[in-house]
Amino acid sequence: MTNLKSILKNLRAGQDLILETIPNQYNDQITSKSLYFENGEWMISEINCFNSSDLGLGTCQCHSHPSRNYYPIQRQEALLYIRRYIAEVEADRKRRQSETQWLDNAIAELEEVSA
């Protein structure tokens, strides 16, 4: 289970909370949006150039603009991002658990039929 305490401790330790990812042209998942805490400020990092060669997204060298944008947000907004993240992780966990249970039941039923 993902919990608020571990997320906050990781943020305090300088780790980003990855909110969104996208595949680049090499089919690697790269971070498109993250939340982090730095020097007493809540910050968001987002991809600015979706054609950035540095990110493996295309051919743009990003000389006249940054490949990513960084901007501060308020604590309340950071907490909303964290809550949404926890809800998404928990929903995914429950979905996976349900699919695993369905598969286990299907196998058990087929074993009964073949016995």
User: For the chain, what percent of residues have pLDDT higher than 70?
Assistant: 98
pLDDT of 1 above 80: no
Provide the b/e sequence for 71-96 (b: ≥16 CB within 10 Å): eeeeeeebeebbeebeeeeeeeeeee
Query: Above 90 in pLDDT, residue 86?
Result: yes
Express each pLDDT in 8-61 by its tens digit.
999 999 999 999 999 999 999 999 999 999 999 999 999 999 999 999 999 999
Whole-number Å distance between alpha carbons of 36 and 18: 9
